[in-house]
Amino acid sequence: MPYVTVGQENSAAIDLYYEDLGAGQPIVLIHGFPLNGHSWEKQVLVLLNAGYRVITYDRRGFGASSHPSLGYDYDTFAADLNTLMTKLDLHDAVLVGFSMGTGEVTRYLGKYDSERVQKAVLMAPVPPFLLKTDDNPEGVDQSVFDGIMNAIVKDRPAYFSDFFREFFNVDVLLGERISNYAIQASWNVAAGASAKGTLDCVPSWLTDFRDDLPRIDVPTLIIHGDADRILPLESTAARLPKLIKNSQLEIITGGPHAINWTHADQVNPLLLDFLQQE
């Protein structure tokens, strides 16, 4: 199993597990909370068949990567991504983030520029800024995030059960676009994540990306579901075309948060078309 070392905590190295498959232009897929790189299953197969090199990795604290007690902030997440990009010596890469992974894409491009990157995709994005403040009235009240943290501390497995119901819009899509088996598989991955990392990720969602977004200088595709209950469209993706040069927004009608799974039949053609554009 391939790993890249991104840091050290006491006597243990902090390693990220990654998979590097196929050949061609590299596509780096960055997963959402609280999953791992295998959550891109429905995209990996399509991208490999289309002739791309596909790279996935597990964020620190999740999946087969190390579970340290520190580093759950976007400066560190972006540094981890930069270490992977450098180790694999990637060029002309496309960074594709889903949900929490869109923060890595945004902070990476804001901090490390686009020398190694040709295009970017933000799917169900966190940016520009989730927290409601005087200068960000479109955001979400702090009390919502306090409630999430309290629920994680009280009963993390129960929190995940509630989370995935809204993640997949189970009341609407069960049996049509999501199965109980897929929900259980996601729960299993989440339950195996670092308890400390799970909790510490919540404050990271409140990162202000508004200074990073104007620095993105590559073509950017934004995809969001209009029925997203985790990251509402109007607070997130709908605001991005004005903040990112050379970007396009595609809205999936009826799409929940997990559009890369439930609506892969619509997301994948959008992704492939964007990759093939000159």
For domain 3-276, the CATH architecture is 3-Layer(aba) Sandwich (3.40)
Q: What is the pLDDT of residue 245?
A: 96
Q: Is the pTM of this model over 0.95?
A: yes
* Active-site residue list: 99, 228, 257
Q: Give the pLDDT confidence score for residue 38 in this predicted structure.
A: 98
pLDDT at position 123, please? 98
Percent of the chain with pLDDT over 70: 100
* pLDDT over 90 (residue 278): no
What is the secondary structure of 99-166 as a DSSP string?
A: THHHHHHHHHHHHH-STTEEEEEEES---S--B-BTTBTTSB-HHHHHHHHHHHHHHHHHHHHHHHHH
